[in-house]
Amino acid sequence: MTRYAGAAIILICSLSAGFLLSAKAKQALAAAEKLFVAMKYIRDEITVNRTPTDIIMENLPVDGLLPGGGDVKSRFTELLKPLDGDMISAFTGFCESVGKSGADVQRGTLDAYISRFEALLAKRREDGKSSGRLYMALSLFFGVSAVIIFL
C-alpha cells in the first residue's frame, strides 16, 4: 500500500515541477511584454509629445504595467529578473539612450532598441509555446518512469 502512495506522490511532484517550470516561462514572457509596452510609451512621450524625461518617469502609468510598490527603477528591476541576458541588454541600452540627445535623434536610437527587443520578444513567444509543452512532457515522462521503477 505504501508503494502505491509513494508512487502517487512521486508522480504528483514531477507534474508539479512541470507546472512550475511552465509557469516561470509564462511569467518571463509577461514581464517582457510589459517592458515592451513601457518602452513604446516612453519613446512616444519623448519623440511625439516632447515630454521631458523626468516628467515621463514621474507620470509613468504603473498601474497594471509595473509590479509591486516602490519607485519606478525598482519596479523595472523586478520585471528584468526573469529575462535572459539579451533582453536585459536591449532594455538597458534603451534606458541609457533616453535623454542623451534631442528628440529627433533619439527616435532612431530608441526605435533600434525597441526593434531589437521586439525581435527577442517574438523569439521568446515562439520558444514559450514549445517549452511549456516540453516541460510538461518531460515531467510526465520522468514521473511515470519513476513510478514504474518504484513499483
Give 25-80 pLDDT, tens digit per residue. Answer: 888 888 899 889 888 888 888 888 777 777 777 777 665 666 655 567 777 788 88
**Grid cell locating 56:** 515621463
Confidence (pTM): 0.74
Q: Residue 118 — very low, low, confident or very high, per pLDDT cuts 50/70/90?
A: very high
CA distance 125 to 119: 10
Is it the case that residue 20 has pLDDT exceeding 60? yes
What pLDDT was estimated at residue 71?
67
CA angle 139, 18, 23 (to 5 degrees): 160
Q: pLDDT at position 96, please? A: 85
Which residue carries 507534474 as its cell? 15
Question: 18 and 134 in contact (C-beta within 8 Å)?
Answer: no
Position 125 pLDDT exceeds 80: yes
Asked whether 68 and 81 are in contact (CB, 8 A), the reply is no
Query: Mean of the pLDDT values across residues 115-129?
Result: 88
Give pairs for 88-97: CB < 8 Å, separation 24+. Answer: 90/116, 90/117, 90/120, 91/35, 91/39, 91/117, 94/39, 94/42
Q: Looking at residue 5, what is its pLDDT?
A: 80
pLDDT tens digit sequence for 82-116: 888 899 899 888 888 887 777 777 888 889 999 99
